[in-house]
Chain A
C-alpha cells in the first residue's frame, strides 16, 4: 500500500499538475493568444467600418444642396444605388478575401476600390469627367472587370476546372461583377446629370432612360444568377431561399420589357417588382444574419461563422440595384408614358 502511494506521489510529482494550474486555470496565456487572433480579424473589421464612414462622410461633403430637377433626382437615386452596391461589395469582398487570407496582394484592390466607388457615389453628381468621382467609378468598373477575369482564371486553374464544385467554392464569378456594376452605374449617373444639357434632344433623353432601365434589368438578372448558384449550393434548404431567385429576375424582365416598349402599365408592374426586390435586399440581410446564427456555435463562434455562413453583406446589393431600377423608371416616367 505504501508502495502504491509512493508511486502515486512520484507520478504526481512528474505529472503536469503544476503546469496545468499555470497554463489552464491561469487564463492569461489563452487570453493573450486569443487576443492576438482577434486583433487580426478585429482590425480588418475596424478598417471596414472606418472606411465606410469615411467614404460616406467624404462623399456627402461633395454634394451641393440645390433644387433638383427630375433628372438630377434620378441621378442621385442611381448614385445611392451605386453607393449601396459599393458598400455591399466593400464588406463582401473584404470578408471573402479575408477568408482567402489575402494571399495575393491584388485581393486588397477589391475592397479599396469598392470604398472609392462608395465614396464617389455619395458625392454630388457632376457631368464633368475630370472629377474624383468619375475616376473612382471608372476604376471600380475596371477593377471589377479585372476581378471577373481573375476569378474565372481561379476557377480554371483548380482541379476539376469549370465544374460545379469550383463555381461553388473557387473565387465567386459573380462577386467582382457587382463592383463592375457599381462603377458602371456611377458613370451612368454622370451621364444622367448631363441630361439637363440635352433639353433640346428628347430622343436622346429617352434613349438614356431606356438604356438605364435595360441595364438595371440585366444587372438584376445577372445578380439573380449568382444568388441562384449560391442558393443551389445551399440546397435551397429554406423555402425563403427561392424568393431572391424569383422576384428579382421577374423585376429584371419587367424592366427590360418596359425599356423595350415603355408603357404606364409596364411601369406599374416594374415598379412593384423592383420595389419588392429592394425590400428583399433588406429582409435578406436579416435572413443571412439569422443564418449565421444557425451555424454551430452561433454568433459566439462568429470568427468562423461570419466567414463560413451566408454572406451578410450580399443581399443588400439587391437593394442598391432596385434603387437604380426605380430611378430608371422615374426617368422614363418624366418623359411621359403611353397607356
Chain B
C-alpha cells in the first residue's frame, strides 16, 4: 500500500471508496450514491481506463445509452467538501506524484504542472479556463500551412464544444471577441478581479481586445453547486464544488446511468487474444492484481499514461506495444509553453482572490499576417493569481533568488500581477513517451518523457514575452521580469487520417486493434494556443456519439448493440 500524500482523509488514498454497491456522493461530506457493479468475469461493453476529460465523459454518455461500463482510475475518489483543505502541501494529493523520468533539451516538470491522479482526472486541479480552438487549427496544415490537419471538421467540434460547455455550465462573457459565433455561454462571466483588470487596462492601452475568461466555475447556483466564493485555491482542488470538474459533473451522471467507477485501481496491462483483439484489462486494486473482461477497452489516461499502458501491454504479436504499428504511440507529445511576465504595481492587486485567470487575450491566436509575427501557431495569455508556494517556486526556479532578497521579493506578493501564455508547440516525432528500464512499486515500467522545443516554439514564446512586457508596463507595472515553464500535455497517441502516421482514426479507434480505443488529450494532433480541457471534453463527447452510432449499426462489439 502506498503511503498517503495528505494527512487528512487518508483512508481515501488507501482503501477504495466505490465498493459494496455504492460510490461517494461528491456533493456530501460523507454520503453515498448507489452504484451498479460488475463482476470481473462479466464481459462488459466498455472498460475505460481513466476518468478525466476523456474517460469521464465517455463513461457518462455510454452508460446513458444503455451500454455497460466500468471506468478505472488509479487515484482516489474524493468528496471535495470534506476532503479538500485550503493548503498547498496537503492538496498535493490530487496530483500524479509517481516519478516519471523527464528528459530532452527542455525537460518538462510533471506532477502538479499537468498530471492529476484522482477520479475526475486533471479537471480536479485545472484552472477552469474554458476556451475553444480557433476553427482553422483543425486544418492547420491545409489552412495555415503548418503541422497536420485533424481528421475532424471544426463545425462538428463547434457543436460538441457547445454540448460540453452546457454540461459544465461555463460562465463566460455575453459576447466573445474572437472567432465565429459561439452562442451564449450557459452562465454569465464572473466579475473580473484586480489581476484581470491589469490585463484589461494593458490591452486597451495597446489597442487589442480582451475578455473576461470563460471559466468552468459557476457564477450562480447550479444544482448542488454553490456559486464561486473567489477563495482562489482552484488550482489545488475546489472545496466548495463551484468548480465544474468532471468529478462533480460527468461522474455523477455516469453513476446515475449505471456505470461503475473503480477508484484506486491502476490498470497495468491490456490483455490481447490471439486474434489481435483485446479481451480486458489487468488492474491492481486493494492489494491484488485482477482482470476485468471487456468487449472494448478505451484508454483515457492522458498523454503519458495512455502511451505508457499501450507500450506496457506489448505481446509477441505486438512487440512494440499495442496499436503501435505506425510507431507513433508515445510520439508527437506536445506541451504549452507557459512563459510569463510579472511586474509590481503601486496598488494592491491581491491576486489570491478569485480564479487565477479571470481575463484573457487571444489576439495572437487570430492574427496571421503581422510584421512581428515570426512563428506558426498562436498563443493566448491570461492574467495570473498564483498561490504563495506556486509563485515562490516560479521565482526561485527561474531566478535563483534566495536569502533575505527572496523574502523581500515575496513580500511584494500583494502588489504583483502577471501575464502568462498558453503557447502552441509544434508536434515533433522526437518529443515522446517511452518506457524506462526502471519499474514502479507495482512492477510497471516507468515512463520516460523526452521534450525539446522546436525553433518555432522558441520564436513564439520570445514574441509573447516582448508583447506581454509592453502590455504589463502599459498597465502601470514596473520592475518586470520573465519566467518560463510549461503547462498541459497533448498528443502522444494522435488520431489521424492514415494508419501510417497516427494511432487511431477519427473515432479514437486504434488502426491496429478494432476493439481498442483511445479517448483523451493524447489524441490531439496539434496543441493550439488555448488550454486543452474543453477540446478534450468536446472530442470525447463526439467520440461517445460515434461509438453509440457504431454500436447501433453493429460495427462495434456491444451487447446492447
Contacts and interface: CB of A to CB of B under 8 A. Distances in A.
Interface of A: 158-160, 164-165, 168-169, 232-235, 237-238, 291, 294-297, 301, 304, 308
Given A235-B186, A296-B242, A165 B229 contact: no
Contact of A297 (B192, B204, B219, B229): B229
B185 to A, nearest CB: 9
Q: Which 3 A-B pairs have the closest CB atoms?
A: A159-B200, A169-B191, A164-B174
A217 to B, nearest CB: 29
B435 interface: no
Contact of A296 (B186, B220, B229): B229
Contact of A164 (B175, B204, B240): B175
Interface string B233-245: 0000000101000
A158 B200 CA distance: 9
B226 A168 contact: no
Contacts, number: 58
Contacts of A296: 226-227, 229, 240, 242
B363 interface: no
Contacts of A165: 173-174, 189, 191-192, 212
Nearest to A167: B174
Interface of B: 169, 173-175, 186-189, 191-192, 197, 200-201, 203-204, 210, 212, 219-222, 226-227, 229, 240, 242
Given A169-B191, A295-B227, A237 B220 contact: yes
A235 B229 contact: no
A34 to B, nearest CB: 17
29 contacts: A159-B200, A159-B201, A160-B200, A164-B188, A165-B173, A165-B191, A165-B212, A168-B189, A168-B191, A169-B191, A169-B192, A233-B188, A233-B219, A234-B188, A234-B219, A234-B220, A235-B219, A235-B220, A237-B220, A238-B221, A291-B221, A294-B221, A294-B226, A295-B221, A295-B227, A296-B240, A297-B229, A308-B227, A308-B229
Contacts of A233: 188, 219-220
Given A237-B221, A294-B221, A232 B200 contact: no
Contacts of B203: 159
Given A169-B191, A233-B219, A296-B240, 13 more contacts: A164-B174, A164-B188, A165-B192, A168-B189, A169-B192, A233-B220, A234-B188, A234-B219, A234-B220, A291-B221, A295-B229, A296-B229, A308-B229
A78 B222 CA distance: 39
A304 B227 CA distance: 12
Contacts of A304: 229
B240 A232 contact: no
Contacts of A164: 173-175, 188
A158 B191 CA distance: 12
Contacts of B173: 164-165
A169 B192 CA distance: 9
A169 B204 CA distance: 19
A310 to B, nearest CB: 9
A262 to B, nearest CB: 41
A317 B182 CA distance: 37
Contacts of B201: 159
Nearest to A169: B191
Nearest to A237: B220
Nearest to A170: B191
B229 to A, nearest CB: 5
**Most chain A CB within a 10 A radius of its CB, from B220, B229, B242:** B220
B207 to A, nearest CB: 13
Given A164-B174, A237-B220, A232 B226 contact: no
B220 A159 contact: no
Given A294-B221, A295-B226, A296-B226, A235 B187 contact: yes
A165 B171 CA distance: 12
A159 B197 contact: yes
Contacts of A159: 197, 200-201, 203-204, 210
A294 B240 CA distance: 12
Contacts of A237: 187, 220-222
Contacts of B212: 165
A235 B185 CA distance: 9
Nearest to B359: A159
Nearest to B227: A295
Nearest to B228: A296
A227 B192 CA distance: 21
Contacts of B175: 164
A232 B229 contact: no
A318 to B, nearest CB: 21
A205 B32 CA distance: 68
Of listed A158, A164, A165, residue having the most chain B CB within 10 A: A165
Contacts of A160: 200
A233 B188 CA distance: 6
A237 B189 CA distance: 14
A293 to B, nearest CB: 10
Contacts of A308: 227, 229
Nearest to A168: B188
Nearest to B212: A165
A69 B211 CA distance: 59
A237 B224 CA distance: 12
B362 to A, nearest CB: 16
Nearest to B171: A235
Contacts of B220: 233-235, 237
A111 to B, nearest CB: 23
A332 to B, nearest CB: 40
Nearest to A301: B229
Nearest to B229: A296
A297 B227 CA distance: 11
